[in-house]
Amino acid sequence: MFMSVLTLTAALAVACSSNNCPLDNTVTCNYYFYDSNDNPISLYDTLTVSVLLPGHDTLYTYRIVGYPTITSKTRIDSLVSQGYKEVVSIIRHDSILINQVVNASHLELPMAYFNKADTLVFDYFNLRNNDTIYIDHDNMPQVNLPECGSYMFHRITGVKNTNAAIDKLEITNPNVNYERKENIRIHFAGTIE
Amino acid sequence: MNAKRTSGFTSLALLSSLILLLSVELHAQEPGERPKPTLYVVDSLNVEQKQTFFQGFTLSGDLFGLIQKYTSDYGVFEGALRVNFKNKYFPIVEAGYAICETTNEDTHISYETKAPYLRAGLDINMLKNKWQNNRLYLGARYGISKFNYDISGPEQTDKIWGVSQPFHFKDISTTAHWIEFIAGVQVKIWGNFHMGWSVRFKTAISKGSTDYGTPYYIPGYGTTTSGTCWGATYNLSFDLNWGRKKNKTMLNAVVHPVSPQSPPKQHRVEDEQTKEETE
């Protein structure tokens, strides 16, 4: 009797300890492209997406007629004395997330682990202006099974955008995790019809 | 039409019964013979015990959870109080205290909880003979646990934004509840002591998921690696006879007269004497 119970114990311990970690566990916010009439589309333009990071640089630009423009992150006094006109600007740090993608119908982009707002810049090859998307979100550290490690999930709380090519944004699923569901619809101006 | 036919049948039956009685009387009272008292002999004797509804309490402890505690990362200290109704129905309350302390060697994620839990339900004795000392039962439980847990691990690093923060969260509060289906046996080992085991199929109604994810271990339920889980108990139990009422004994005696002409008659003798259950 006792041996049978021990055998049963071992069998149950094995039955309850199988590994159920997800194979694809990259947490991304998934943006899908639509036209103004809610039809899914692919974007024919070449698109580059970058995200603004904390911190900035000071950029010094020197121009004089008849010579090439010079830019530097440090001030060059000698150029000023030579008659160059100095322009000082502040450049935000950024990181390119998607570089020159063509015919994209959706994007899978990471979100900041510890910031409550992300700023994405959509740079279109054939448009002079960029679009900027602002996404507010909460961050939720996650552990489901210790053997699977930890994740950072997010919950989208708000979105805003500029209107160079984008008409509006729509939150379809605020929960950002590794399930690959659509989170945000990007409606571009115009229709495919 | 039907009423007339029924009335005819009734009249016929009454008439034939009367003729039969007269013939029996005529045979019993022959002229010049005095009626003799009939002697009856007991042919067989069956003793039926009419069970009283309440049959006592049973206290039990789970040895499986104790063994599990000292051989794995988690285990329970569990006791139960069971009521016996007619040796068939056993309403039961199980209460315990569960401990889980685990750290994964690969991910270095730690999970810790220590909390009580409660289960309530019913077992039904499936054996035909309810009076024997062994029991085979099926049952169901509803379980609930309100508990806090801690999770910790290596700091999380956001590679794009270039920021790291510690991963350590204490006293995350949640409540989980679930249902269990049980099959088990119980055998008498000595006096009022019984021993037995049960196998339990558990399915969660709510795993108590929080903003930090689903708890890895729910006190009283087990690990949450899948939607359902199997469990087991190995119980040592003691029957308490406090408050148990005595059973009423019924005697069924089949008797027949010495005279071979008379058919055997069955008499039911109700013995108002009460007899205490021998178990």
* Residues of chain A contacting B156 with CB distance shorter than 8 Å: 113, 141, 150, 152
pLDDT at res. B241: 72
* Residues of chain B contacting A178 with CB distance shorter than 8 Å: none
* Residues of chain B contacting A114 with CB distance shorter than 8 Å: 158, 161, 163, 165
Nearest CA in chain A to B210: A142
Q: What is the pTM of this model?
A: 0.70
Residue located via tokens 């229709």:
A191
pLDDT at res. B22: 40
A51 inside 8 A of chain B by CB:
yes
pLDDT tens digits for A65-118? 999 999 998 999 999 999 999 999 988 888 999 999 999 999 999 999 999 999
Instruction: Verify whether the Cβ–Cβ distance A12 to B223 is below 8 Å.
Output: no
Contact B138, B126 (CB under 8 A): yes
Residue located via tokens 């049959």:
B55
pLDDT tens digits for A108-120? 999 999 999 999 9
CA dist A24 and A151 (Å) reads 12
Find the CB nearest B234 among A5, A110, A148: A5
- Is it the case that residue B249 has pLDDT exceeding 90? no
CA dist A62 and A59 (Å) reads 10
Could you tell me which CATH number the domain at B53-240 has?
A: 2.40.160.20
pLDDT tens digits for B95-136? 999 999 999 999 999 999 999 999 999 999 998 887 777 889
Instruction: Verify whether the Cβ–Cβ distance B160 to A51 is below 8 Å.
Output: yes
B278 inside 8 A of chain A by CB:
no
Ranges A167-171, B50-54, B248-252, most confident: A167-171
ipTM (interface predicted TM) = 0.75
pLDDT at res. B258: 60
Instruction: Verify whether the Cβ–Cβ distance B213 to A1 is below 8 Å.
Output: no
Q: Flag the least confident range among A4-18, B27-41, B88-102, B167-181.
A: A4-18
Q: B217 or B43: whose pLDDT is higher?
A: B217
Instruction: Verify whether the Cβ–Cβ distance A143 to B160 is below 8 Å.
Output: no
pLDDT at res. B87: 83
* Residues of chain B contacting A144 with CB distance shorter than 8 Å: 213-214, 216, 224
- pLDDT grade for B37, boundaries at 50, 70 and 90: low
Measured in degrees and rounded to the nearest 5, phi and psi for residue A18 equal -75, 155
Alpha-carbon dihedral of residues A15, A17, A23, A26, nearest 10 degrees? 140
pLDDT at res. B7: 42
User: Which residue ranges make up each domain of chain B?
Assistant: 53-240
- Is it the case that residue B45 has pLDDT exceeding 60? no
pLDDT tens digits for A3-61? 554 555 555 544 444 567 888 889 999 999 999 999 999 988 899 999 998 888 899 99
B104 inside 8 A of chain A by CB:
yes
First to last CA, chain B: 61
CA dist B66 and B75 (Å) reads 6
Mean pLDDT over A154-174 rounds to: 95
* Tokens, residue A70: 């010079």
pLDDT at res. B32: 60
**Residues with Cβ < 8 Å from A129, sequence gap 6 or more?**
A162, A164
Instruction: Verify whether the Cβ–Cβ distance A16 to B222 is below 8 Å.
Output: yes
Q: What average pLDDT does the structure give for chain A?
A: 88
Side chain identity at residue B198, one-letter code: S
- pLDDT grade for B8, boundaries at 50, 70 and 90: very low
**Residues with Cβ < 8 Å from A167, sequence gap 6 or more?**
A36, A187, A188, A189
Q: A159 or B251: whose pLDDT is higher?
A: A159
Q: Flag the least confident range among B6-10, B113-117, B232-236.
A: B6-10
Interface test with B, best of A113, A115, A175 (most B CBs within 10 A): A113
Interface test with A, best of B69, B70, B156 (most A CBs within 10 A): B156
CA dist B104 and B102 (Å) reads 7
pLDDT at res. B25: 43
